[in-house]
Structure formats: C-alpha cells, structure tokens
A and B are shown apart, each in its own frame.
Chain A
Amino acid sequence: MTRKVVVVGAGVVGAACAFHAASAGLDVTVTDRGPVGAGTTSRGEGNVLLSDKEPGPELALARLSRTLWDEAGQELGPDTLELEAKGGLVVASGAENLAALQEFAARQEAAGVRVERVDRVRDLEPHLAPDIPGGVHYPQDAQVQPVLAAAALLRAALRRGARFHPGEVAGAVTGRDGRVTGVRTAAGDVLPADAVVNAAGTWGGEVGRRLGAPVEVLPRRGFVLVTEPLPPMVRHKVYSADYVANVASSDAGLETSCVVEGTRGGTVLIGASRERVGFDTTMNTAVVARLAAQACRLFPFLRGVHLMRAYRGFRPYCPDHLPVVGPDPRVPGVVHACGHEGAGVGLAPATGALVTAHLLGRPWRGADPAAHTGLLPDRFLTPGGVPQ
C-alpha cells in the first residue's frame, strides 16, 4: 500500500499531482530545485484546449481534465486560477483547409467534444480579417493563468498536509526487491517514499534517468509574444487550422501557426512557434517576425499594436507526442507524469488524478487507469525493459 509519495517537480503538473494525492489522503512531499511554476509552466499561454486534440488517448485525458479544471475552480475559487471558459475559434485559411477542419471537427464531435460550425466568423470575432472562409467554435476551450494555477494547487495540497522540500533529485533509493524506498537529493537528504512521481516536465527525461527509469522526453522551443494592453479586441482563443497539424508534427524545423487571444490584463498573447533546437535559449528574431506576420493576417488591426515582450520556453515532448503517465515497470514505485508538450497546463488536473488513481490502485475523481492505458510508459519499452 502506497502511503508516502514524493512528487518531483513543482510545475503545474507536479502541483496537480500533489493536490490530488494529498486530497486522497496520501502523505505527499513535493520537491523542486526552483520555486513553484518556474519552468515551462511560466512560459506557456495557459491553454486548456480540446479543439487541438484528435480523438485518442490525449483527448480522453483532456476531456477529463476540462471537467477537473472546473472542479478545481469551484474548490479553490476561479479567480485564484484566472480560469476563463472563453471558448476557442479555429479558422480556416482557404476552402480546402476549411473542409479538412470540418472533417476533423466531426471526428472530435463523435468523441464527445462540443463543436459548432461557424460560417460567419466575424459574428464571433469582429476584428478578424474579412477573407476568412469559416471556422469551428469550441465552447469548451478555456484558459488559466498557469503560475497562479500551479501556486493555488500547491497551496491547496499544502493545506491538505503535503510538504514542500526545495532541492534537486539525485537518485532513487531502492530496497532489496528493487522497489523505491526513497529519493536522494543533491544536498544529500533522503526523502522516504513508497512512490516517486516524475513530474519534472521538460527535465523529466533526466529525472527519469536519475531514478533508474529513463524515458525519452525532449525539449521543443516555443516563443510567445505579448502586446501592449488593449481594450478587449479578441474574445476567444483564435487560431488557424494549421496549428492542429503542427502540434502533431515531428518536423525538426521551425513551425509557426499563431494562436491569438486576449488576457485579463488586456494584453494580447500570440503564441506557438515550435522548434527542435535542444535547450538553446537564444532569441530567434525570424520566429518572432513570422508569428507577428501570421497574427496580423488573422487580425489586421494588430499591425498598429506594439509588441511589448516575448518569452520562450521548452515544451517537453515524447517521440509519439503523447504524455507518459503511469507506473514504470522497471523500477517499482516510479510513476511518470511528464512529456505533455504544449498541453501540460490543460492536462494537469487529469494527470494528477490519474497518477493518484495509479497510486491508490483504484479510480480517483473520474480517472480510471484502465481507461488510459495508451499513456503508460510500457509503450516505449521492449520486452527486455529497455527504451526502444
């Protein structure tokens, strides 16, 4: 029986794991080398999306997560998360593109996503370019402020008895049977544990290796642009249908397809370049220019609006672009919860619930391990237990 759990990582996914595990009565310690939400969590737009996911294991997790974000909002107060169910509007760039988008939306609808075909997109977004042939409205798409959300989830976990232990994980301590009995930190502390949750996000590959359970998690660099504060001009998360293709893509080069949305602070966020360049932190002005150009094509008024800042982060992705959530068969006690790529904020609560369900050995808050086997780490392992 699992009692003591160490969650490695205080990003939004680690915080959600701690929140659910502590709510289930487990003895939780969260550890991170930095403060809450300082990694990829602080570098995203806060997307809680169903619209960009095709039917399959990730959409199933996303649908549960959407419900659990609402529940977290009710428990913790929607303002503490800046949870906003603003809806998404995916627009097509041409007739052919529109047909593909509508076909994609029909399959999502069959999988339980609410979709609404929109012929006159300017009824929903008056400032869109006039030549857009149509789109699909996804009323369930939502947004949270990721760092606030992570901090609120972690605070709630601490109220429910969890602890925070600053430090960097150095390795796992295992018993004679190979089972985890604790986590060793770089400072030499040992945190006793029956289970360790690898919620280290982009650094999940390295943490997995240190725990003796390597998983392939790679960084994908993304830039986000932030404009000057404006009166409300963009009401939904608006993006071009190309984004859907990019999210699922394995192309090594640069991909940009902008996502434009307003925030409570009045700024407009323009997101979502994707580059596979390792942990290269350098500024790429060409990417920034490309995002700006795409945003201006969607919303021509943006041409006269100032870019105030840009930031970049590293999204963690697995080779098949699905997160890895579940126990690692090689080291009993290690449970992975990483590799969410650009969807970590959206998928965090369901990931936390699913990890808790794995730890408890029974469903928790609607998360049934039997329903999410497609996310298990086993898919990367050969029968010998070595990553493929």
Chain B
Amino acid sequence: MTDPADLIVVGAGPAGLAAAATALAGGLRVVLLDSGTALGGQYWRHPPEHARAAVPTDDLHHGLDRYRALCKALAQHRTSGRLDLRLEHHVWSAVRDGDGFAVHAVDRHEAPRETAVVVRAPRLLVATGAYDRQLPFPGWDLPGVLTIGGLQALLKGGGVAAGSRVALGGTGPFLLPVAAGLAARGVEVVEVCEAAHPRAWLRHPGPLLRNPGKWAEGAGYAAALVRHRVPLRPRAAIVAAEGGERVTAVRIASLAPDGSPRPGTERRVEVDAVGVGWGFAPQLDLLVPLGCALTDGVDGNAVVAVDEGMRTTVPGLYTAGETCGVGGAALAVNEGRLAAASVLADSRATRVPADKHLAALRSAVARQRAFARAMALAHPLPPAWSSWLTDETVVCRCEEVTAGAIRSARADGAHDHRQVKQLTRAGMGWCQGRMCGPAVHCLTARRGAYEPAERLVATPVTLGALADLDEAPAGTTCTADTACTAVTACTAGTTGTVCTQASTDNGETDKECS
C-alpha cells in the first residue's frame, strides 16, 4: 500500500474491529492502532499469540465467533495491503492536520525502546472504549484490591486468578461474568455484593423484553453462579477492606435505599483478593482535546454527542462504542459498523452499505441503546456512597489525597474536580485522575455528569521519543510499507536511568453482560 490512508481507527476492541472491517469492505485504506498485543481490546482480550495454546481462555469469552470472523476479515485486508495494522502502538495525541487528522503514537513492540510514529488521514474514528469506574472506600488502596475489569483482564490475558478467596462488589451486570470466570478457574468467590436491587429493572420492562439475548446471557451467568455456589447479595456493598501488607478481609454491609450502610448489618469476611466495579467511565482522552461536544449520559458520565451516523460535532471525526455511552460489546460492534458506513458515505466511496442494511443497523443500535439506558438506571451509583468514607480515606491514590482534604477544598469554594486538583493535587499523579476523577466529581459537584479533565497527553510517553520527533522530517504520510514519520528513541536513557514501560491500563476494562 503506497497510497495514503483514508481512515485511521484508534482502538481494536469490538467497535474498532467492526468499524475497520466495514470500512475495508467498502474499499477504504485503513490504519488501525491499538496498544494491546492482540486484536480484541478489553472485551476480547487474549493472551499474546505465543501463549495462546498454553492458556486456554475460550470459555471465558462471549461472542467469539464474531471476533474470529472480524479477525479473519482484517487478516485478508492486511494481506492485500489495504489494512495497516499497528499493535502495541500507544496513541498519545490526535490533532487536526490540514483538512484531516494526525495521530501521534509511540510504538512499543520492542519495549523499552520507544519509537514515535505519526499517521495521517482525512478521517478519524476513535473507539477507545471505557475503563472501570471506581469509588473509594477505606482500605481500597491495599494490595489485593483490584477493579473487576482488572481481575477479568488477568484471567483472559494470562489465565491468572488474582486470589483464591475473592469478594466482588459494586454494581452492574459485569459483576456476573467476572464471578463466573473466577469460579470456573477454581477461585472461591465468597460473595458478590450488588448495590442495586434487581427489582429496579422492572421499572423499565420495555427494553428488557426487546433484548432477549441479554436475558439469556444474564441467565447463563446466574446459573453458573448457582452451580459454583456463589452467593449473590443484592443491596449490599463492600464498605471497607482490611489488612496489613495486603488485603485479608472485607467489611460488607446491607444498604438502605439511599445507599448508606444499614446500622448493625456490617459483617467481616476473610478474603485474599477483592474486585470492585461501579460501572464504567468512557475513555475520552483523545476526543476531548479535539473539541467534540459532549452530552450527559444516563450513568453519570459525560459521553460524546453523535448523530445517528456516529459523527461527532467535529467534521471528519467519528466515534463508536463506549465513548458515546457504555452499552456493551454487541452495541459497540453495531455502532462501529454504523460509524464506518458514515465514513464510506462521507468519503463518497463506491461501495456503500445498502439503505436497508443501514436501517436494520440503526434499529438494532436504538434497541440496544434503550437496554443500556435501562441498565444504567437500574444500577446507579448509590447516592450516599460517600458515607463509607472517613476523613482519612485516600481518594486520590497517586498523590495520596484524602477525603478530608477534598472536603476542605470544597469548603474553600472548589466546586468541581478541576478546582480540587489545583488545590489538593488530587488527579495530578500517574493516572491523571482516571481512577479518582468520578469520585472527586461526586464529592464536589454532586450535580451534572462527570466530564473528565482535558488530557492533552493521553498516555505517558518518553521525552526522548518526543525529542526525536522534533528532529524528524515532518510531513511524511503514512503507508503500510514505509515507516512514515517514525523515529526511535532508546528509552533506557543515556545516564543509566532505568526505564520501565508505562502502564497505560490503569483501569483495565472488560464488559460482558452489559
């Protein structure tokens, strides 16, 4: 492929894979970038190629046929040269570049060597998914307390169970596949605490009835939990974790309707690992600096505003999947296809999906979106969750900022998480507020959706790689055969500084039942 690309897709999860496949089928040249070592994103996370045979994970997955079909389609286009696939490419910025876009990444496939890469195309589709939303509680910063997405990523990516006696807590259907997956690997799942009550679903029967597949999926996980004797406790939460060097026990309380612990119901349960997840936060880091409009999602997160063809308010910029509202993999696949269909139409491609096909896609997306809304309404953050916190509870783990410090910043007039950051450093550390941002928002603003702070650098990148970019010739367009504007930096440093690869998966994510 020596012609320039027509489309850049960032993210090779369900939405990005589907989008790339549809765009390629329509005759476009596509660059697909992902930070992972394999296609699939978090949902279809797999062990690296060389370890697949040794680590069977098929039983942990849902919809693998679709995954394999998408991978096969992409492989064909890779052979024909229309697809430029760039795995282990960490995108740190996407900017306007003339009439199109320039996407800046670092290639880490020879880590710790890091090579700056720039790809350019007239259109950009961002499918960066979401990550676990966390709420702090006393002891949540102990080793052994993980996100449920993190537990799932360890299982799917390497067959690793993070503990032998695990308690799970939070809210949302994603708790179920994680519990089922752990149980299937011999882990004793001592309790699954779901803060919501299942009755909440009955308030929105329409979307439930119109999405029977979701029912069946949920029922399958429920049966698995019964089989493994995993107790599922509605209206309960893990309100504290205890331990010295690592977690040894959790405290579980029944919740009043407002989410506050019912006095006298607290129980102590011994565990060696904990998984917590309160839904997901969309990963908007590449989208916000490009200036696309956001809108309030029903789950308390700001999401990207899109038209019915998944176009953002920035011309040439599309998004699909969790970035426009958390709704699960099946919806993400359909949105990816829809977004790519819009790219095809907007670039006046010759092979555009038939109107009938598009109408069917749109109707499926509408039905699945309705389900996602019902799910978000049935699994809200408990309004009184902050009653679990003491003043000493650490909220921002990177900078060790306590709930007390955040409360006093609020008393000083800080009325959003950005102000709190300036006054307390909450959100200024390694994760840049990805972990604590939603919680700090709840503790200060209490109204409106959580809109993440603008992050001009979407993932940490070495100054050496950037410096080499400065000295590289500019303006090269990326093709499959030539390593476009690629320059290499030895990140081992020249004065002996030991360099480790940046962990960009601070909130490892996975979603199944959702």
Using a CB–CB distance below 8 Å, which chain A residues touch chain B? 35-38, 42, 127, 147-148, 151, 155, 164, 225, 227-229, 265, 267, 270, 281-286, 288-290, 292-293, 295-297, 300-312
Contact = CB atoms under 8 A, between A and B. Distances in A.
Contact of A307 (B419, B428, B463, B474): B463
B493 A304 contact: yes
B142 interface: no
B467 A292 contact: yes
Contact of B460 (A151, A295, A306, A312): A306
Given A301-B494, A303-B494, A289 B457 contact: no
Given A151-B423, A308-B432, A283 B95 contact: yes
Contacts of A42: 422
Contacts of A151: 412, 423
Contact of B423 (A147, A265, A303, A311): A147
A290 B469 CA distance: 8
B254 interface: no
Nearest to A297: B467
Most chain B beta carbons < 10 A, residue from A296, A300, A312: A296
Contacts of A148: 422-423
B419 A38 contact: yes
6 contacts: A289-B466, A289-B469, A300-B493, A304-B494, A305-B499, A306-B461
A285 B116 CA distance: 12
Given A265-B399, A305-B462, A312-B456, 17 more contacts: A35-B414, A37-B422, A38-B419, A147-B423, A225-B463, A265-B428, A285-B95, A288-B93, A289-B466, A292-B466, A296-B463, A296-B464, A300-B493, A300-B494, A303-B489, A304-B492, A308-B432
The secondary-structure label for the interface of chain B is: loop
Counting contact residues on chain B (CB < 8 A from A), the size range is: 35 or more
B285 to A, nearest CB: 10
Interface in B98-134: 102, 104
Contacts of A164: 413
A305 B95 CA distance: 23
Nearest to B431: A308
Given A151-B423, A283-B95, A312-B456, A288 B466 contact: yes
A350 to B, nearest CB: 23
B245 interface: no
A303 B464 contact: yes
A32 to B, nearest CB: 11
Interface string B200-215: 0000000000000000
Contacts of A308: 430, 432, 457, 460
Nearest to A35: B419
A15 to B, nearest CB: 12
B495 interface: yes
Contacts of A282: 95-96, 289, 291
A228 B398 CA distance: 11
A127 B463 contact: no
Contacts of B490: 303
B429 interface: yes
Contact of B455 (A147, A265, A309, A312): A309
A151 B289 CA distance: 27
Contacts of B499: 304-305
B415 interface: yes
B491 interface: yes
Contacts of A303: 462-464, 467, 489-491, 493-494
B190 to A, nearest CB: 37
A311 B453 CA distance: 11
B59 interface: no
Contacts of B493: 300-301, 303-305
Contact of B462 (A281, A284, A288, A304): A304
Contact of B466 (A38, A265, A300, A307): A307
Contacts of A306: 460-463, 502
A228 B414 contact: no
Nearest to B499: A304
Nearest to B467: A293
A148 to B, nearest CB: 7
Contacts of A300: 493-495
Contacts of A265: 399, 425, 428
Contacts of B93: 283, 285, 288
Nearest to B471: A293
Interface string B449-479: 0000001110011111011111100100000
Nearest to B496: A301
Contacts of B462: 303-307
B275 to A, nearest CB: 27
Nearest to A281: B291
Given A290-B470, A292-B463, A283 B289 contact: yes
Given A286-B470, A303-B493, A35 B413 contact: yes
B497 interface: yes
Nearest to A229: B429
Contacts of A283: 93, 95, 289, 456
B491 A147 contact: no
B480 to A, nearest CB: 23
Nearest to A146: B422
A283 B464 CA distance: 19
Contacts of B415: 35
A228 B503 CA distance: 12
B323 to A, nearest CB: 18
Contacts of B491: 303-304
Nearest to B399: A265
A300 B425 CA distance: 28
A204 B102 CA distance: 35
Nearest to A10: B413
Contacts of A36: 413
B396 to A, nearest CB: 12
Contacts of A270: 463
